[in-house]
Amino acid sequence: MTRRALKHSFTLLNVDYVRLGNKWNYKNVLSPYFRMYYIDEGKGSISNDKGSWVLEPGYMYLIPSFTLCNLQCSGHLGQYFIHFFEDTLDGISLFHHCRTVFKIKATELDIANFKRLLEINPGRKINRSDNPKVYEKNIYYQEYEELNNKQSYELFLETKGILLQLISKFIDPKQIQQSEPTGIPSKVVDLLGFIQLNLGQPLTVKHLANIVNQHPDYLSRIFLKLTGERPLSYIHTKRIERAQYLMVTTQLSLSQIAEATGFDNLQHFSKVFKKKTSLAPGKYREQNHTIGIH
């Protein structure tokens, strides 16, 4: 009998309740973490190239990590928000095959979970300063991680449990079934973890094929079935995701980030970054050092 284990875990970053006005107006938001909202009053919107969603009272919303969107409020908006990171055993996000915005009706239990998460996680607000020059995000990310480490174990478990409960509401069973790697050799699945751990090293299809003793063409076909991308495209995706994380959480230069994520030079890094995100690296960093995006 095989013991089933969770392949995805989630770590809290921010949680708060805010009242927003027309200054909440951000274009091309692309974060390395998940955003989840519960709206209790007012009206706003989320939009991207796949559609638009009205933010309205009584509903919950989920924006998976690395999902490009625009956030807007023309009047006022009462919003509970949660930001959290995802960790996976195989490097594939729970929503890898469905990077879109999700909207569902909130239940009384969902609302209670938002409020309870806020109650047991003080000090997780986002606005630390009105001056972006003093808002060094790497310091605050480290602080939030330290808060996770200092939290009592029972509240840490409760926090994890609440996040899992809320995330489970957005899962489409059909989508999960489609993403299961049925019929794919386990050693190929293991390659995903290898790639994740070696993003800063030279990675080629031939090298990966040699690791699992497969022909490069066969590996490419299996990879497409497993991840929805060819190996090189998948490697680029993961390198750019890692670069986005480093841009948001550290003060490393773009050249240092390019080197840390396995690119030969800044020009190649910038070209792939823009292809994957539709934004130049400098523009992305500038955007994500803006105060007040909830």
196-207 confidence digits (pLDDT tens): 778 889 899 999
> DSSP code of 132?
G
Q: Give the number of domains in the chain.
A: 2
Q: For residue 49, what are its two tokens? A: 């190239």
pTM of model > 0.95:
no
In a domain, 35, yes or no: yes
CB atoms within 10 A of CB 142: 13
Residue 289: pLDDT over 70 = no
The rounded distance, in Å, linking the Cα atoms of 200 and 239 is: 8
Q: What would the pLDDT profile of 205-253 be if each residue is shown by its tens digit?
A: 999 988 888 899 988 988 888 788 899 999 999 899 889 888 877 788 9
Q: For residue 16, what are its two tokens? A: 């708060």
89 plus 168 within the same structural domain: yes
The rounded distance, in Å, linking the Cα atoms of 154 and 152 is: 6
Q: What would the pLDDT profile of 147-159 be if each residue is shown by its tens digit?
A: 778 889 999 999 9
The domain boundary, picked from 125, 154, 177, lies at 177
Percent of the chain at pLDDT > 70 equals 85
Helix-strand-coil split of the chain, %, nearest 5: 45, 20, 35
194 plus 114 within the same structural domain: no
Dihedral sign from CA coordinates of 110, 111, 116, 121 = positive
The domain boundary, picked from 177, 202, 235, lies at 177
The rounded distance, in Å, linking the Cα atoms of 137 and 288 is: 9
Q: What would the pLDDT profile of 145-194 be if each residue is shown by its tens digit?
A: 777 788 899 999 999 999 999 999 998 776 555 545 556 676 777 787 78
- Average of per-residue pLDDT across 263-279: 92
The domain boundary, picked from 150, 177, 204, lies at 177
Element of type H or E holding 12: strand 8-20
Residue 290: pLDDT over 90 = no
Q: Tell me which residue range forms the domain holding 208.
A: 181-288
